Amino acid sequence: MTKVTPETASSSADAALHKVADGRVEKPGTSAADQHIDNARKEKRGKWVRYAMMLAYQGKNYYGMQVQKGDTPAIENILLRCMHDLGYITSEEAETPYKFYFQRAARTDRAVSAVRQVCSMMLPTNKEFKDQGADKLNELLPADIRVMGIRRATKTFNAQKDCDSRSYSYTLPSFAFANLTELTKSDYRITPETIAEVDSVLNTFVGTHNFFNYTSRREFGDASCKRFIISFKCDKPFTYRDSFSGREYEFITINIRGQSFMLHQIRKMIGMTIAITRGYAYKSDIQRSFDGQRMDVPKAPGLGLLLEQVHYERYDKRWSKSHETLNDWGEEAEAKIKKLKEDLIVKEILDTEIAQSSMMEWLGSLLHHNFIVDPFSEEKAPTSAIAMAKHSAKVAAEALESEAKEEKEEVVEVTEKEKVAAQA
């Protein structure tokens, strides 16, 4: 039996991560080193116990949290590869994570980041994994994926099923909530009145509703579309100085907590809120969107969405006397999370928004957005009354401008003819 050294594991992991950087993810179990790791792993098998692992990651380089097939890089692909290279799991388990009961608390979509994601898994009792696993994994993982801690959990713990609720934040330029009569530029500053208006719209989503219009390929009668929103409100606005231009931009963060969320649900709720605040839709359209009529709800850009925390109040209340809590990972972990969030995630969101103006570009598309969809009609559906009024005003203004231009051209033409006649 050949002993697996840290150097062997590190070399294998480095090679895999180089392939990740090139957009390729190597499958474990294909080399002699992998076989040595598997054999060493199997020798250590004893009593199996559950662990909870807390992760933080910048998602811009990945196609979501969940394992992806082929060479598509995802957070779990990288994590499992490193766990395998350190001898914590076999190549078979890395390929089929359910074999060691691996489960994440929340799925995150492509480019979405997280700071307190939790995964559960069942592994042979390993004090070294619990005490040093986070540090060892972080040595192999790329800098944009961090293991923030590992704790022993109950024998039936499931990160997804035992999670009470999930909290997300969405950070965007405050000018997204400017009225159409106001200029949306870098020096825009949101007023307390506008924030109160936005909060009023957000509060309409709180409670249990049918969100079939806020995801894709779901019907009104699908029971899974009923979701419970606990809270939804704005934080205080803040300014951020662009190091390139020296300008200060104002941003605002919206915090949402719900029992669970569907694909695109949060981005569509943000999109509807912006549309209403800017005057493209009515506040009453939110209630209509919960009814049976199909609506095309605008989806806000993905940039700015962040999984803040997954909550385990019931678990902690029941097991805190015999196990470490999963809602509170301690002051040291929180300090690391806060720094990582500011340096790795939030700064990237702000810099990217300023450089690419994704929100400004998206706002331009709202004018032509059709909210009402009739699946049995071949005609183009009309927008809301307010949106149509705004569009009509724009068309009228363009028509007046065109008429004025034509009149000016006619005057110039007449003047030229008079000059020619006088010279004759």
SS3 helix, strand, coil % of the chain, rounded to 5? 45, 20, 35
pLDDT score recorded for residue 422: 62
3-state DSSP assignment of residue 196: helix
Contact yes or no for 86/136 (Cβ under 8 A): yes
Largest CA distance in the chain: 111
Contact yes or no for 226/205 (Cβ under 8 A): no
pLDDT score recorded for residue 401: 66
Tens-digit pLDDT string for the chain (424 aa): 333 333 443 444 444 444 444 444 455 555 655 565 556 555 556 689 999 999 999 999 999 999 988 888 999 999 999 999 999 999 999 999 999 999 999 999 998 999 999 999 999 999 999 999 999 999 999 999 999 999 999 999 999 999 999 999 999 999 999 988 887 778 899 999 999 999 999 999 999 999 999 999 899 999 999 999 999 999 999 999 998 888 999 999 999 999 999 999 999 999 999 999 999 999 999 999 999 889 999 999 999 999 999 999 999 999 999 999 999 999 999 999 999 999 999 999 999 999 999 999 999 999 888 887 654 444 444 445 455 555 545 545 555 566 666 666 665 565 666 665 666 5
Q: Kindly state the tokens that stand for 333.
A: 């972990």
pLDDT score recorded for residue 181: 81
3-state DSSP assignment of residue 298: coil
Burial grade of 358 (CB within 10 A; 0-12, 13-18, 19 or more): middle
CATH architecture, range 6-152: 2-Layer Sandwich (3.30)
pLDDT score recorded for residue 29: 56
pLDDT score recorded for residue 115: 97
Strand 305-311, strand 113-124: pairing:
parallel
Active site residues: 109
Taking the CA of residue 407 as centre, how many other CA atoms within 13 Å lie in the half-sphere pointing to its CB? 6
**Helix axes of 358-366 and 265-278: crossing angle, nearest 10 degrees:** 60
88 marked as part of a ligand binding site: no
Q: What are the beta bridge partners of residue 50? A: 122
Do domains 6-152 and 165-311+357-366 share one topology? The answer is yes
pLDDT score recorded for residue 184: 75
Q: Where are the domains of the chain?
A: 6-152, 165-311+357-366
How close are the terminal C-alpha atoms of the chain, in Å?
Answer: 111
3-state DSSP assignment of residue 64: coil
CATH architecture, range 165-311+357-366: 2-Layer Sandwich (3.30)
pTM of the model: 0.79
